[in-house]
Structure 1
């Protein structure tokens, strides 16, 4: 049975979330771990292991090579007579329900028992392969993009975006928060603009970050704690209060994936309030330490890490980065 028919049958018949595709080939990378299993046992082992993406065995070898996601980017097809085999994991969403509809069959050439110019794509979580291509006997694998630890991936209209809430000790000013986000994560201060995601973020941050820390003396002494987010008051709105300045339109944003006119900034009561005679040009996402609930978005002075009244402390920032 030639290579393409073998793969087409697997794509058409398996209904599990993942499958193992077997070809005659050799990896081009040398980063792997070894395990003393025959090839088919090794295939089963990889299938059950979330971190595994592929296995390789030389002809008549009594062990196999295990490749975790990210360790293998290319496999070169070999002749069946060489006896070298590679099995790699593929998500079923990459395959059509029937072999006749599979995109691989379009580029199949009878003169060559290999697959040419094929591409599979899928959206998946980290530790999976999102893109598989084959051209001229070389298979290429691209892992799904992932976020830094403790960040959550969102799909915005302009693309995928990782968002994380980062507590800091000691408290920080807005410029310090911007610098930490860029230095530590290569990102910018951010804010998820979709209303449904706002609710998710608020609840996630409240449960996972805010509530566990509110019991500490460092936070409980404050009435309000705030996380700096993206947004700087426009110059024209620093000296006046107008209907336009008292909305999101009164601020400039550097978050590259925000929509042109972001609508998801949910303001606190009577906010924003800092235009005109007040120097409140930066934005923070705040929580009440007594109720442990969000007070939504507020504007405040950029260069301070706590309020002049001593009631609010700026305890961190919300950072956004492009998945990698």
Structure 2
């Protein structure tokens, strides 16, 4: 059995320590953690590569727990630097005697509170990047060495970005087209790739879409405004002659088919929008994110069959969303 030295727990960029000596806790961390570093006397025994960092073991653990792709750090006795292993770079490690002074820390997920013993903590971890998710477990082999094993790999399609939502992982693609496109045609094209028009869970998602869409607009001399279709279609109960009410007001005027959408912070409407109910329009039933060459106007409701509204505005594309999948 390993001699556990320390549990380092991390949540929302806050780091705390639980010191353990022979499994007796001298200071107990009281808050639930997303990740922790489990530090033992040991050393890597099978690896491909690593990077060097001049720092103490404690500083290296703090660095690793905030670096998405880091899975382990190692410091030899007497060394003033540590070895940083990212996902795929280390396969096995082995325990050593405390008298040797070699220390290695593994990043694993914390599923509950920081436990008082090593056996009470999950030995699984995960790495999330801008386009992929990888889960791994650390288990003891028959030879006594601990093995890093990949258990799941999920990836977004090319040019999509991965976002983590409360309901799960979600890939978002900002799809630009050569000609202006309607909301209905956008939904059809997105569905043909296995997706749905994406909702706007957070402002981070909205700003990501805006950044890519505005870059496309700046290259187009024909139009001053672009719109990209997003998830949301007006409820039948919020169509004329309905009036604005508590159940027909802003995001509540629409239904959503994005399966992982659980919040609507990204639906920041443009000034005086949505105005379909106010104008008693029978066609302003689909949502798009609208912006100019230098400004994000916000979300707007317009006709689902309209590829453009006037010579100023072109619906230049759509935002397609889907769950990440295992690589072929």
Which has the larger share of strand? 2
Partner SS state of residue 270, structure 2: coil
1:189 is displaced (CA, Å) by 0.9
CA, structure 1 residues 157+319, in 2 after alignment: closer, same or farther (shift >3 Å)? Answer: same
Q: In 2, Cα distance between the equivalents of 1:158 and 1:231? A: 18
CA, structure 1 residues 201+263, in 2 after alignment: closer, same or farther (shift >3 Å)? Answer: closer
Q: In 1, Cα distance between the equivalents of 2:148 and 2:135? A: 13
Say whether residues 1:171 and 2:175 are aligned partners: no
Q: In 1, Cα distance between the equivalents of 2:251 and 2:211? A: 27
How do 1:299-318 and structure 2 match up within 5 A? 299-307=301-309, 309-318=310-319
Q: In 2, Cα distance between the equivalents of 1:221 and 1:165? A: 20
The equivalent of 1:131 in structure 2 is: 136
Is the Cα–Cα contact under 8 Å of residues 145 and 323 in structure 1 kept in the other structure? yes
Is the Cα–Cα contact under 8 Å of residues 132 and 156 in structure 2 kept in the other structure? no
Q: In 2, Cα distance between the equivalents of 1:247 and 1:127? A: 33
- Residues 291-318 of structure 1 show CA distances to partners (whole Å, capped at 9, x for unaligned) of x2111000011012111x3321111111
The equivalent of 2:199 in structure 1 is: 191
Greater CA deviation, 277-286 or 154-163?
154-163
Q: In 2, Cα distance between the equivalents of 1:231 and 1:91? A: 46
| Structure 2: tracts of 5 or more residues without a match | 6-37, 52-68, 72-86, 94-103, 111-115
Q: How many residues align?
A: 242
Say whether residues 1:12 and 2:26 are aligned partners: no
Is the Cα–Cα contact under 8 Å of residues 124 and 144 in structure 1 kept in the other structure? no
The equivalent of 1:257 in structure 2 is: 260
1:11 is displaced (CA, Å) by 5.2
The equivalent of 2:84 in structure 1 is: none
Is the Cα–Cα contact under 8 Å of residues 289 and 300 in structure 2 kept in the other structure? yes
Is the Cα–Cα contact under 8 Å of residues 246 and 271 in structure 1 kept in the other structure? no
Say whether residues 1:93 and 2:107 are aligned partners: yes
Greater CA deviation, 172-181 or 151-160?
151-160
Is the Cα–Cα contact under 8 Å of residues 11 and 95 in structure 1 kept in the other structure? no
Q: TM-score, normalised by structure 2?
A: 0.60
The equivalent of 1:148 in structure 2 is: 157
1:252 is displaced (CA, Å) by 0.6
How do 1:240-319 and structure 2 match up within 5 A? 240-243=242-245, 244-259=247-262, 262-275=264-277, 276-289=280-293, 292-307=294-309, 309-319=310-320
| Structure 1: tracts of 5 or more residues without a match | 23-42, 54-68, 71-85, 108-117
Partner SS state of residue 12, structure 1: strand
The equivalent of 1:322 in structure 2 is: 323
1:165 is displaced (CA, Å) by 1.4
Q: In 1, Cα distance between the equivalents of 2:168 and 2:250? A: 25
CA, structure 1 residues 141+202, in 2 after alignment: closer, same or farther (shift >3 Å)? Answer: closer
The equivalent of 1:236 in structure 2 is: 237
- Residues 202-249 of structure 1 show CA distances to partners (whole Å, capped at 9, x for unaligned) of 4433444422x2233xx3322321000000001122223323434211
Partner SS state of residue 191, structure 1: coil
CA, structure 1 residues 127+182, in 2 after alignment: closer, same or farther (shift >3 Å)? Answer: closer
Which has the larger share of helix? 1
The equivalent of 2:80 in structure 1 is: none
- Residues 188-212 of structure 1 show CA distances to partners (whole Å, capped at 9, x for unaligned) of 1112223xxx1x344433444422x
Aligned-residue Cα RMSD (Å) equals 4.1
